[in-house]
Amino acid sequence: MQANTTHNRPMNPTKIIGIILIVLGVAGLAMGGFTYTKDTHEAKIGPIQLSVKEKETVNVPLWAGIGAIALGVVLLVVPGRK
């Protein structure tokens, strides 16, 4: 009788990518976008230093979130190469 050793094998990279896509898709749908700060102007005048930071917002389209989830599910469901 042979023991089931599937839990000892490393996870297939395709499955890992599928899980990542699902997580990113759900996060994109839940948050709708993300913001980040970028430095746009900087000036040094003697000992005085001035900088301008701008907040940028990136909206994640609904179709991108749904597409990422769908592709992730496909990668998890489709059997990998052996």
| C-beta of residue 68 within 8 angstroms of C-beta of residue 25 | yes
- Please state, rounded to an integer, the average pLDDT across all residues of the chain: 84
Tell me how far apart the alpha carbons of residues 4 and 51 are, in angstroms, rounded to a whole number: 61
Which tens digits make up the pLDDT trace of 20-43?
999 999 999 999 888 888 887 788
Q: pTM for this structure?
A: 0.64
Which tens digits make up the pLDDT trace of 10-19?
778 889 999 9
Q: What percent of the chain has pLDDT over 90?
A: 39
Q: With 0-12 CB in 10 A as exposed, 13-18 as middle and 19+ as buried, what is 76?
A: middle
Residues recorded for the chain? 82
Tell me how far apart the alpha carbons of residues 74 and 45 are, in angstroms, rounded to a whole number: 57
